[in-house]
Every structure is written in structure tokens, then in C-alpha cells.
Amino acid sequence: MNMLTQDQIKQFEEKGWVGPLDIFTRSEVETVKKCLETNSAIKEVDGQPMMMLYNNVLNLSTSRDLHLFHQPIAEMFKNPKIVGLLNQLGEKNLLLWNTNVFGKMPGEGEIKWHQVYDCYDPSAYDPQKPALLYPKNEDFLNLTVWVALDDATLENGCLRFANRTHKQKFKRVQVPAEEGMFAGIKNHKMVWQGRRQYSAVFDFDENEWEVEAVPAKMGQVIIFTERVMHSSYSNNSNQRRLAINARYVPPSVQVYSHRWQGDFIDENFHNIKKHFCILVSGHDAYGINVVRDSHDLDDTEVEFQTMSNLVRFGHVQLPQGKKQIELESLYQQAMEGDCLEEEPDPILQPRKYIQWQAWNQLKGMSRSEAMKQYSQIVATLPKVDREKKLPLGEEIKAWLVAYMAKVLKIDPDEVNCSLPFERYGLGSADSIILTGELEAWLERDLSTNVLYNYPNIDLLARYLASTASP
């Protein structure tokens, strides 16, 4: 088993972090990478590529807590090679309570300096319900294990630490959400930051401290206490920087204490009713947390969640017409039960009305039966070669170029994507036809003035990709 040297333990105690440590083999890392890459998609948000992920236990789009469903991730952070090192740092009884994927795409911004001292959610300003409730008068560590799944370099956004800052608590300062510490990371914006008016940064001047950047090779690990000030650079390269971390606390720390009052919405607007902690070492003498070895989904729901990921992340070719409506309706019935939505106007919202009607006709079908029927349909769908599949923004752009080339009877290479549609001679009637064709291809309703608001192919494709449903 890997062991920390006395010098490494001393470094952790003095600086608040230690690493990079050679822990995982290439095959161990590739297993987790394959799991994440298979269960993700690249989506464009505000013109920036973003790695879209989904939590199949909490049932929401998030980069957080994917270990609750995906066993390779859970096994990585339960591994004795990791847990043994944490035990060496002074904590014998440990709960794994949180994981987070950081798929920092080319062009994504920095994560600003932050620490977690006496409440959890460093980006919130005066949070009303912190994720962790720490016991008073108890000295303990909140430990994070950060694993490089791609090489993390100075160019693509490696971690950096302000040494010894774990011994001092810094003041949080309220700022607009778009200036918060995670504002540069698009997947955080998609998950929750867009719903906040305010966020926070810390009253911290890096010039007053010894700062170290810590590049890491794939499979290397950095261990740190969340109390140490840490940040990461922008990704200024043309390569993705994929990493994942896990957070551990002793069982005396209560995780999501508000759940015991029946409040299952956390400080980041996630529904954490099905969240649980995993005891990875020692024992739990407190009984104040939901602790399990794995999720409690039955085989039917596991199959349904697996099949829904095939659809969600573009691994299967979706059916057209009535079969697609049936598939969407079964998904709604499986997730929400009987339709309780108000009937939409069939003239103003024809597609939404057809979808509502199909869902409403399933009234009385159990969620379990809907899951089974959904899975049976998806299992028959043809597989898609992901290597050949373009990101959605590029796919829409290619469609628009092909459409314009056909209408104008010119070569696709002659279509200028930054030239306004009106410069190509598209009148109002032509715009209506194009919008209708685009609606049919995308299978979603569009505003009648969408071409006016986004007047060229580049702008329109970017907008449509950023507003597409997961």
C-alpha cells in the first residue's frame, strides 16, 4: 500500500496540501475517464464548449456526486490506496460525501481563490443552509482528494495553492453572481450559478502569500484541506483538462442537516433527497447522516437510467414522428408520474399540445411500467458512432449551411456564416419557411423572430445550441 513519508505529512501540515502523488495506474484512470466520456456530451453555452453531465440518482444535470450511480467513480475514491493516505493525515473514521467533475474545456476561465472554513459552499454569500454542519469545539480536517484524469498543466488550468493559508480564515465578500469565484466555469453556471443574484469572493491578496502552482500528470493525486486557499488557472490551451475530486469528513460532521426537517433543496438548488454518504474507513458512532454502501435503485430503474443516458448523450438514433412522441411521453411518466400540467393551446403550441396529449393518455400507468417500456424501445434503437458526431452547435451550423446552399443553388463552401441572412436575399416569407424547416429538424418550437434576433448562421447556431434541452 502507498504510504506518505514523514516529509510529505509535514508538508501537508505546514502548507495545507501535498502532491502530486503517483497513485493510480493508467488503466484505473482510463476506466473512470471512459465512464465520464460515455456519460457526457459537449454543449455550447454562450459560445463556449461545456461538458454536460447528469446525476442519475439525484436526477438533474450536474457535475456533482456522479459516484452515487457510477461504480467506477465510487471505487476510485473508496480505494485503500487513497483512504490509507487520508488515515495517515489524522482521520481514521471517514465519510465520502461529495464528488465533483471539472471538465475544463479550452477557453474556460479561472476558478478564483477560495477556502472552506466553517461552512460549506464557498461561493455563496451568507448561505442559509450550509451543506456541512460542523460540530463545535472539535478539531478535525475536511479533506479533498483531487485526481488528474488528463495532464494538468500551467497552460490548461492546473491547481495552485497559497501555502499556510489553512491556518487563517479569510472574509467572504458579496459580489454579483457573474463575478463570483466559479463564474469562469460554464458547467457551474449551467447547474446553479445562473439562478443566483449574488455570489462571493474572498478578501485575499495572493501577492501577500507564497503561491505554488501544481501541475499533475494523468493519474496523479493532490490531497488538501479545503481550508487552504486554492484556485486554478484558465485553460489557455487547445486541450481539455479533465479532473475529478472527492471530499471526505468524519462522521461527527452532519451532511445536509436541513434534510431532517424535510427540506431537500440544498444551497445550490439541488434536490438531495436521495443523497447518501459512504463510510470508507473506521466506524460511524454518531448516526446523524444517511450512510449506505450504494444507491437503492431497483434493477428496473438502473436499466431505465442507463438507457436514458444513451438518449441524453446521443448514443442512439432517435425515432421520428409518433415513436419519438411515445418515447418522450414514457420518459415523462417514468420521471414524474401522471400528467398534471395544464392543457396547452393546440393552435399556439401545436407540438407541445401533441406531447401533452400523449403523456396524458398514459395516466394510471405506474412509473415502473413506464421505465420498462421506455427501456425496451431504446434497446431497439440504432447506435450512433460518437466519433463521427459533431457538437450540437457545429451540427446545427452544418445543417444551416447545407440548407442555404440548396436554396441559393451554390456550393456549401461559398456560404458565409457571418453574413446576415438578408444579404442572401431572404425575405420574410423565406425566413418563415426556414424557421419551419429548422423547427421540424430540431423537433422544437422556435420564436417567429428568431432569425431577426440572430441574423446570421454563426449567431443562430450558437443560440440554438445553448438553449437546447439536455
pLDDT digits (tens, 9 = 90+) for 227-252: 999 999 999 998 899 999 999 999 99
Beta carbons of 174 and 125 less than 8 angstroms apart: yes
109-132 confidence digits (pLDDT tens)? 888 999 887 666 655 655 677 888
Distance CA 94, CA 144 (A): 12
205 class by beta-carbon count within 10 Å (0-12 exposed, 13-18 middle, 19+ buried): exposed
308-356 confidence digits (pLDDT tens)? 999 999 899 888 788 889 999 999 999 999 999 998 888 888 878 888 9
Distance CA 145, CA 223 (A): 5
Q: Which three cell numbers stand for residue 163?
A: 501555502
Beta carbons of 93 and 281 less than 8 angstroms apart: yes
Determine the pLDDT at residue 298: 96
pTM higher than 0.75, yes or no?
A: yes
- The order of strands in the sheet holding 220-225 is 17-22, 220-225, 143-148, 241-249, 94-104, 278-281
- Mean pLDDT value across residues 160-171: 94
Residue type, 391: P
Provide the pairing of β-strand 159-162 with 143-148.
unpaired
- Mean pLDDT value across residues 12-38: 95
The size of the chain, in residues, is 470
